[in-house]
A = this chain, B = another copy of it.
Amino acid sequence: MGTTKSEKFSKSQNEISAIAKAIGHPARVAIIEYLMKVDACICGDIVDELPLAQATVSQHLKELKNAGIIKGNIEGNAICYCLDEKAIGKLNSFFQKITLKLDKRSGSCC
């Protein structure tokens, strides 16, 4: 027990939930918003932006990278992180599908 029964769900369901899970932490939302703000995927000052220790930030970055939400280029000494459209696009289309459904809902209930 205690383990998520991923194998009982479809690949697509696991994929979507994995991306959503990665966004499911305020620090990681903050990282995403910062990367949006600076646009030009500036490097290492992400650590200074967040109220967390360097090791913790590094871990969060790793999870975002695993989920395909950001990607990082080694740039000499520092590393240059930026948003990766791959995962973002997947979740975006998931939400658009829901929103579409909601818009033209028969409104019969609830």
Q: A80-B110, A88-B102, A106-B39 are in contact. Are A20 and B24 (CB under 8 A)?
A: yes
Question: Taking the full assembly, how many copies of this chain does it contain?
Answer: 2
How many residues of chain A get a CB closer than 8 Å to chain B's CBs? 52
Contact with B along A89-106 (1 / 0, CB 8 A): 101100111110110011
Binding site for B on A (CB under 8 A): 4-6, 8-10, 13-14, 16-18, 20-30, 32-33, 36, 39-41, 51-52, 71, 73, 80, 82-83, 85, 88-89, 91-92, 95-99, 101-102, 105-106, 108-110
Closest 6 CB pairs of A and B: A21-B24, A9-B26, A20-B23, A8-B51, A20-B24, A92-B95
Given contacts A82-B109, A95-B92, A110-B71, contact A101 B39 (CB under 8 A): yes
The DSSP consensus for interface residues of chain A is helix
In the complex, what's the smallest C-beta–C-beta distance from A31 to chain B, in angstroms? 10
The answer to whether residues A85 and B102 also contact, given A13-B29, A24-B18, A29-B16 and a CB cut-off of 8 A, is: yes
Given contacts A73-B109, A91-B95, A110-B73, is CB(A26)–CB(B13) below 8 Å? yes
